[in-house]
Chains A and B, each alone.
Chain A
Amino acid sequence: AQSVSQHNHHVILSEAASLELGCNYSYGGTVNLFWYVQYPGQHLQLLLKYFSGDPLVKGIKGFEAEFIKSKFSFNLRKPSVQWSDTAEYFCAVNQYYGQNFVFGPGTRLSVLP
């Protein structure tokens, strides 16, 4: 069965530090890849997505992610985090033309001011 793993349960950074959150999936076929963010008390929001084309995808709020097919990875990055980036981050995979999203367990990011 398709699965998504995220490397860290909880990441704590100071402001201005660089961020990289790992995401790996198990499905071998063509996939669509997503990163979602959920700020405290709010609903899920889409940060960025990859369907095809340039494997380096830029999203909102300075986030980017790189799809590396050979590694089945889609890691999220940001060069300099802010306190307002404190949130829960979810990686998700959707099989191309598939019906279901499979979400990773999430990574909580805490940014210290």
Chain B
Amino acid sequence: GAVVSQHPSRVICKSGTSVKIECRSLDFQATTMFWYRQFPKQSLMLMATSNEGSKATYEQGVEKDKFLINHASLTLSTLTVTSAHPEDSSFYICSARVREGAASGNTIYFGEGSWLTVV
């Protein structure tokens, strides 16, 4: 099946620095990618929807200047956490939707997630 790769799977950064998480669709083109965050003992929360070549659509309450999302190509979306703080420590997961018209239609594939720890 199709593969979505997230990198890094785990990252530790110092408070005040920025960290970038990549989400790649390895063998298909994805016009739309979704970024989620998991809070402790809770389910996933959608942060933003990323469309190739256009600005991401952020959910209410998500700071767009803090969580920068770029979807520069049909196979890559990045999430940059700027000026990270300890409360940003969380599990971030992306998913990618196969480009419409392809044989798989609108199938969604998930990345393995990235665990961010800000110290």
Binding site for B on A (CB under 8 A): 32, 34, 36, 38, 40-41, 43-44, 46, 49, 51, 88, 90, 99-101, 103, 105-106, 108
Contacts and interface: CB of A to CB of B under 8 A. Distances in A.
B103 to A, nearest CB: 13
Chain B, interface SS category: strand
Contacts, number: 41
A103 B110 CA distance: 8
B106 interface: yes
A19 B25 CA distance: 31
B43 A34 contact: yes
Interface size class of B (residues with CB under 8 A): 10 to 19
Contacts of A46: 43-44
Interface string B106-119: 11101011010000
B49 interface: yes
Interface string B77-119: 0000000000000010101000000000011101011010000
